[in-house]
Amino acid sequence: MRCEYSCRSSEHTIARRSFLGGMAAGMGAVVGGLGALARPSAAAEMAKSQKRVVVFNMAGGLSQLESWDPKPGTNTGGPFLTIPTSVPGVHISELLPYTAKQMHNLAIVRSINTKEGDHGRGHHAMFTGRKQTPGADYPVIGAVMAKNLESAGNSLPGHIVVSPGGGGGRGNDAAYLGPRYSSITLDSGKPPQNSARPADIPEAADNARQAFRRSTNDTFAQRRRTAQTDAYVQSYEQALELMRRGEVFDTTKEPEKDHERYGKHDFGRHCLLARRLLESGVTFVQVTHSNYDTHNENFDFHLEQLGEWDRPFATFVEDIAARGMLDSTLIVVLSEFGRTPNINHLYGRDHWGNAWSVCLGGAKIARGAVIGKTNDNGTAVADREVDHGHMFHTYLQALGVDSTQPFDIAGRQVPMADPAYGPIKELIT
């Protein structure tokens, strides 16, 4: 779905790199083949043990007043009403009837104030947990989660972004954690680019090539092993395992009834792919739904866009819970900011970082909780103000990760999350 009336900020453009080239630039340290370390993950086993994260990025700035914190009957409320949810006393916008039935598996934070109304800076704050400052580069949440939650036995990438037009290229969003944890951007049903053996190279010949490469690498490593050589070895080995497991990305393997339930459009397919990836052992999946930058015709656009988003998202939450994965899977629905309570002369809402909402659930998040509130017309936070720093700590601690601990980067201790903040303690069970 194309939005013709957003501000068309340059921050909406995603840079992509070659998948194999990015992997070769700096993966983790293992010499020789992955061999016994790499094995297909059984979905049932992973559902009981592995921690995972899925982020739904409502790119452009979802209106909190048309979603999680409606204000009907006020001068800022707009035309939509509220509906009750599966949590007694909690109401959300009538544009989200399917999600309302899953609210017992979710929670809402209605008191976010990042004081940021710029797309790029807002995205940076919400995805890194820090304000954007000159000369500082921080890893995004997907890279941090992939680093913290990775399993040595998993051959699949740990940080995947699912977005229309994604061709499998590497992002540049892991900062000091290194390219191993950078994102790979995919479209639905398509494995990463360059991840299939060329048809003109027979399997036997390819196996012989790989055996020679491993032998040469092992011989070299006996005398000149370095972190850089280990990185190249790991990149090739993970690429080979990824080639062997290409079916993980193929949503046509899912039953027809699931395609019907999720919807046969991009977002429905992307949600189904996210479920398939998480079940297969991928640590972090981000699903992008765009573009909510509704400077005019805000109400018509949210009616249409949330109409597409609501059922696939609710189906995803329902499936994660039914498959026993909810306690080990953190679900987050965020934007770079919200929309202004004021309705402009074009019937739109502008950028607003001062009082808006995020929905999340699963893992150790308190089911059905509502944290904080805004005033009667949504123009300011009235209770329990939090911002991007608090949210980042909360995401980590909801998965049992101590967010106060640092990363060891070549002997330098780098805080995992901004030490000036802490988690929303009452949201974590």
Instruction: Answer yes or no: is pLDDT of 4 > 60.
Output: no
Instruction: Answer yes or no: is pLDDT of 351 > 90.
Output: yes
Binning pLDDT at 50, 70 and 90, where does residue 5 land? Answer: very low
In three-state secondary structure terms, 382 is: strand
Percent of the chain topping pLDDT 70: 86
In three-state secondary structure terms, 104 is: helix
In which residue are the tokens 């979802």 written? 62
| Biggest CA pair distance of the chain | 75
CATH topology of domain 15-427: Alkaline Phosphatase, subunit A (3.40.720)
Distance CA 286, CA 52 (A): 11
In contact, 376 and 108? CB cutoff 8 Å: no
Tell me the CA distances in angstroms from 412 to 134, 149, 359, 409, one per residue in order: 20, 21, 34, 5
**Residues 143, 147, 149: CA angle, nearest 5 degrees:** 115
Instruction: Answer yes or no: is pLDDT of 21 > 70.
Output: no
- For 298, list phi and psi in degrees, rounded to 5: -55, -40
Identify which of 20, 90, 95, 126 has the alpha carbon closest to the alpha carbon of residue 391: 126
In contact, 1 and 287? CB cutoff 8 Å: no
**Residues in Cβ contact with 105 at an 8 Å cutoff, skipping those fewer than 6 apart:** 317, 318, 321, 326, 361, 362, 367
Tokens read off for 232? 């190249």
Sign of CA dihedral 386, 387, 389, 395: positive
Fill in the DSSP letter of residue 52.
Answer: E
Percent of the chain topping pLDDT 90: 68
Sign of CA dihedral 376, 378, 379, 382: positive
**Residues in Cβ contact with 29 at an 8 Å cutoff, skipping those fewer than 6 apart:** 227, 230, 231, 234
Distance CA 279, CA 283 (A): 10
| pLDDT of res. 8 | 52
In contact, 106 and 368? CB cutoff 8 Å: yes
In three-state secondary structure terms, 383 is: strand
Amino acid at 262: Y
Distance CA 407, CA 112 (A): 27
In contact, 181 and 409? CB cutoff 8 Å: no
- Domain range summary for the chain, segments of one domain joined by +: 15-427
pLDDT in tens, 92-127: 999 999 999 999 999 999 999 999 999 999 999 999
More confident residue, 302 or 184: 302
| pLDDT of res. 42 | 40
